[in-house]
Amino acid sequence: MESIEWWPLLDATTKDWLIAHNGEPLPSDVLGKVVAAGGIVTSNAWWIGEEGPDGFFLSDEAVDWIEAVGNAEEP
pTM for the model stands at: 0.88
Residue 3: which pLDDT band, with cuts at 50, 70 and 90? confident
- b (16+ CB within 10 A) / e for 52-74: eeeebbbeeebbebbeebeeeee
Q: In angstroms, rounded to a whole number, what is the distance separating the alpha carbons of residues 65 and 46?
A: 11
Domain-located, residue 1: no
CB 57 within 8 A of CB 50: yes
Domain-located, residue 62: yes
Query: Domain range spanning residue 15?
Result: 7-70
Domain-located, residue 64: yes
Residue 43's pLDDT is 83
Given a cut of 60, whether residue 6 has pLDDT beyond it is yes
Residue 42: which pLDDT band, with cuts at 50, 70 and 90? confident
40-67 mean pLDDT: 92
CB 65 within 8 A of CB 74: yes
